[in-house]
Structure 1
């Protein structure tokens, strides 16, 4: 099954790899949230992460996307 068939659009290899990188970051952030000791923080942090991803989803410039991913990884380490 081709990548374009699964996603409904044709993606370049670079776009596909970038998408995978973003999905991995999202998964790692969610896993870190659920490891937070305070259950009350889970909902707050989950909403924060969701809003950050929504806010940045329209980015199209390569430099902006890479900078956003780097910032997300830094924030994950600070977690």
Structure 2
């Protein structure tokens, strides 16, 4: 193993923190989705969120990950606004 390199499958601290932030965002999105009263909309949005996160799970470019995270937070805010309109 070369100096400064981690064994395969071991995350660096930075990668670990990115993963934790992404998981936190995913959970927040799901919490909002579960509050949506219409079951059809709820299922559609749950599938949408799952597919978006699954599709992008292998992104490693730090700038791309940061951009996707920002976009995901904006989408979370939109979901929260939509939920407030239904109440």
- 2: CA distance between counterparts of 1:63 and 1:27? 22
What's the TM-score, normalizing by structure 1?
0.84
- 2: CA distance between counterparts of 1:11 and 1:38? 39
What runs of 5+ residues in structure 2 fail to find an aligned partner?
1-7, 80-87
Count of residue pairs brought into register by the alignment:
72
1:31: Cα distance to partner? 0.3
Q: Which has the larger radius of gyration?
A: 2
- 2: CA distance between counterparts of 1:70 and 1:44? 22
User: What are the equivalent positions in structure 2 for 1:53-64 lying under 5 Å apart?
Assistant: 53-64=53-64
Higher RCO (CA 8 Å, separation ≥ 6 residues): 2
CA RMSD of aligned residues (A): 1.3
User: What are the equivalent positions in structure 2 for 1:35-46 lying under 5 Å apart?
Assistant: 35-46=35-46
- 2: CA distance between counterparts of 1:43 and 1:34? 9
What's the TM-score, normalizing by structure 2?
0.77
Partner in structure 2 of residue 9 of structure 1? 9
Q: Secondary structure at the match of 1:60?
A: coil
**Structure holding more helix per residue:** 1
Structure 1 stretches (4+) deviating beyond 2 angstroms?
none
What runs of 5+ residues in structure 1 fail to find an aligned partner?
1-7
